[in-house]
Amino acid sequence: MRIFALILAACAASTLNWSAPAQSASTQAVEQRLPHISVVKQGSGPAVVFIPGLSSPRASWDSVTTGLAKDHTLYLVQVNGFGGDAPGANLTPGILDGIVADLSAYLTSQKVGPIRLAGHSMGGLAALMFARAHPAQVDRLMIVDALPYFPVLLARGGPVPSPEQVDPIAKMMRNTVAARYGKPVDPATTKADVDALAVNPVSKVTMAKWAAQADPRVTAELLYEDMSTDLRPALPTLKMPITIVVPWTDTPFGQERTLAFYHSQFDSAPNVRFAPIAESGHFVMLDQPQRFRAELDAFLR
């Protein structure tokens, strides 16, 4: 259940210096800037949209999209305030709704659709929200280690807390993360947080760099919105094919237990397929890029 690393990612982002980023290969193209997101377009062919996770830049997909633009049009989203970008409209509540609205308007203006839409972590939740709000614009979904209702992880075997019960916890986390904006780095805390997000040591170094580029104020609000959003009632209405990418390791949960958990969260969707990827953490595209690319290719066929 590596999705729990979402909280740790927020903490990591909040304890690092916010500095200007180095340009990645995926950001060399001209961006279309919108109030809540920016979009980079590459290639030609069927449209594929990628939404990264909490505190992550569009470069988080680079390891699994190499060469894909030869026969697909890639639309690489980045949330304003991440990747070193200015936060734009993302210093006020309603970021997730803003992401959905901006993306829908952009695709409409470009006469693009229906799309194949992939989202990681918070980006997976945004992808589900997009499919709920604009089903005619979506051909299929790939949800990478995300949940329709994040606070289910707080149940710990007991009753799942309601949004009302979660709200004070979510507000406390939001306020704590936001208050760390501009504060000195705690290297030990940062290392402990990043260590939980991946298996590969190189992946952890990469994630630390990304976290350093994220504005903790945006991370804080999105963390709150992620914990406050319950899409479980919407799952039966999502008729498009949905692939759920499930990273797992032998410890602490193993494949069988991890898959059982994700089945329990998504089985109400009428057309869902699960794609387990072994020996990978929350950032599965970094830990196992070849296996992830194979699942991505299968998703796009």
HEC readout, 28-62: CCCEEECCCEEEEEEECCCEEEEECCCCCCHHHHH
For the segment 179-208, the average pLDDT, to the nearest whole number, is 81
Model confidence at 268: pLDDT above 70: yes
Model confidence at 12: pLDDT above 60: no
Q: Identify whether the C-beta of residue 5 lies closer than 8 Å to the C-beta of residue 196.
A: yes
Which fold, 2-300?
Rossmann fold (3.40.50)
Q: What is the pLDDT of residue 1?
A: 45
For the segment 116-135, the average pLDDT, to the nearest whole number, is 98
> Where is pLDDT greater, at 101 or 30?
101
Q: Give the integer Cα–Cα distance in Å for 182 and 115.
A: 38
Model confidence at 19: pLDDT above 70: no
> Where is pLDDT greater, at 207 or 254?
254
Task: Write the pLDDT tens digit of every residue in 39-57.
Answer: 999 999 999 999 999 999 9
Lowest mean pLDDT among 97-106, 139-148, 204-213: 204-213
Task: Write the pLDDT tens digit of every residue in 271-290.
Answer: 999 999 999 999 999 999 99
- Helices and strands (H, E) in the chain, number of each type: 11, 8
Model confidence at 161: pLDDT above 90: yes
Question: Given pLDDT bands bounded at 50, 70 and 90, which one contains residue 15?
Answer: very low
Model confidence at 96: pLDDT above 80: yes
State the chain's mean pLDDT as an integer: 89
Q: What is the pLDDT of residue 289?
A: 97
Question: Given pLDDT bands bounded at 50, 70 and 90, which one contains residue 128?
Answer: very high
Task: Write the pLDDT tens digit of every residue in 105-114.
Answer: 999 999 998 9
Q: What is the pLDDT of residue 194?
A: 76
> Where is pLDDT greater, at 177 or 237?
237
Going by the DSSP 8-state scheme, the letter that residue 118 receives in this structure is E
In the chain, where are the structural domains located?
Answer: 2-300
Question: Given pLDDT bands bounded at 50, 70 and 90, which one contains residue 30?
Answer: low
Q: What is the pLDDT of residue 35?
A: 98
Percent of the chain with pLDDT over 70: 87
Model confidence at 22: pLDDT above 70: no
Q: What is the pLDDT of residue 189?
A: 66
Q: What is the pLDDT of residue 141?
A: 98
For the segment 182-200, the average pLDDT, to the nearest whole number, is 77
Q: Residue 120's closest CA among 101, 150, 139, 147?
A: 147
Q: Identify whether the C-beta of residue 294 lies closer than 8 Å to the C-beta of residue 137.
A: no
For the segment 87-109, the average pLDDT, to the nearest whole number, is 98
SS3 of 131, please? helix
Question: Given pLDDT bands bounded at 50, 70 and 90, which one contains residue 21?
Answer: very low
Q: What are the Cα distances from residue 88, in Å, to 11, 51, 64, 256?
A: 22, 18, 28, 43
